[in-house]
């Protein structure tokens, strides 16, 4: 029996367009159209301090897109939990990429931005796809994510958990490492975790200035982290590929940037 989106008729919740949100700011950096003046102002302030932010956003999207395709084709993964999904730009949504390889692939999207959730639901309903769902939940509410995702995903089988550009918005005080550990403990062996994260120890002055300017405008501050802190997210897993390395370590230079101040990593639970 195919699982169909349960919230098709739910009206989009109200939101304050004067408050910038990470999902819409990243959409601005990616060249999308789903952002408001406050989001553009916050994004522009960050870009003035660190002009590479749009490049980082684009390469992070490329990394996720490539991983979904390769995990589907070569890894046999048929379940994806995409947390902090953001707003679509082009035809590169996770369910579209996964279901090109395997039409029965199951995908659950999670975001706490009403605009992102509304877009994801419209995208799913419009495509008529099965085996999908979208949850309006904050990453910190791990139990609620797992409970909701279990409507469409079988946690007794491997799942790919996508955490691209989302852990940056969880401060140390909220222990993002414990959040990832709870997700890791809930999924089956053979599950993959993808993480992209802004670096604090590459182009440190520019990154710090960007984070400061961003934090003064946005409701949710950003927390860049050093490589050792990002590696900790993969505790209890085996890193694959080149490991946790700067973004260009996976693909080489991009737009003339030899090293982008962001870490990308992929790990598998044994």
Instruction: Examine residue 2 and state whether it is found in any structural domain, yes or no.
Output: no
Instruction: Examine residue 210 and state whether it is found in any structural domain, yes or no.
Output: yes
CB 38 within 8 A of CB 17: yes
Instruction: Examine residue 230 and state whether it is found in any structural domain, yes or no.
Output: yes
CA dihedral 41, 43, 44, 47 (to 10 degrees): 160
Instruction: Examine residue 10 and state whether it is found in any structural domain, yes or no.
Output: no
Residue 131: both structure tokens together = 């085996």
List, for residues 15-47, the tens digit of each pLDDT value.
677 888 888 888 899 888 888 898 898 889 889
CATH of the domain at 96: 3.40.50.150
Task: Please report where in the chains the tokens 């789903």 appear, as a residue.
Answer: 34
Pairing relationship of beta strands 262-269 and 245-246 according to DSSP bridges? antiparallel
Instruction: Examine residue 227 and state whether it is found in any structural domain, yes or no.
Output: yes
List, for residues 255-270, the tens digit of each pLDDT value.
545 678 999 999 999 9
Measure CA 38 to chain center: 21
List, for residues 123-138, the tens digit of each pLDDT value.
665 454 556 888 999 9
Let me know how many helices (H) and strands (E) the chain has, helices first: 10, 8
CB 162 within 8 A of CB 195: no
Highest mean pLDDT among 96-100, 112-116, 128-132, 234-238: 234-238
Rounded mean pLDDT of the chain? 86
Alpha-helical segments (H) within the chain: 22-29, 37-49, 53-73, 94-101, 114-127, 142-149, 176-186, 204-217, 227-232, 248-251
Domain count, the chain: 1
Instruction: Examine residue 128 and state whether it is found in any structural domain, yes or no.
Output: yes
């Amino acid at each position: 029996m195919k699982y169909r989106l349960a919230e098709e008729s739910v009206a989009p919740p109200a939101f304050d367009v004067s408050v910038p949100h990470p999902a819409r700011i990243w959409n601005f950096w990616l060249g999308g159209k789903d952002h408001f003046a406050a989001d553009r102002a916050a994004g522009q302030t960050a870009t003035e301090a660190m002009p590479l932010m749009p490049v980082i956003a684009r390469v992070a999207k490329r990394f996720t897109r490539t991983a979904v395709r390769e995990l589907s084709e070569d890894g046999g993964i048929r379940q994806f939990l995409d947390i902090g999904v953001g707003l679509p730009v082009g035809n590169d949504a996770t369910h579209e990429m996964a279901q090109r390889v395997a039409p029965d692939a199951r995908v659950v999207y999670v975001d706490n931005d009403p605009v992102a959730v509304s877009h994801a639901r419209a995208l799913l309903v419009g495509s008529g796809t099965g085996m999908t769902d979208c949850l309006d939940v904050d990453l910190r509410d791990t139990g609620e994510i797992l409970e909701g995702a279990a409507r469409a995903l079988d946690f007794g089988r491997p799942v790919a958990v996508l955490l691209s550009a989302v852990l940056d918005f969880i401060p140390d005080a909220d222990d993002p490492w414990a959040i990832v550990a709870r997700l890791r403990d809930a999924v089956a062996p053979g599950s993959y975790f993808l993480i992209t994260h802004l670096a604090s120890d590459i182009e440190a002055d520019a990154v710090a200035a960007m984070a400061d300017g961003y934090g003064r405008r946005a409701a949710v501050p950003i927390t860049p982290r050093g490589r050792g802190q990002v590696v900790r997210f993969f505790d209890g897993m085996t890193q694959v590929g080149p490991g946790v390395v700067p973004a260009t370590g996976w693909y080489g230079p991009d737009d003339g940037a030899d090293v982008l101040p962001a870490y990308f990593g992929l790990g598998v639970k044994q």
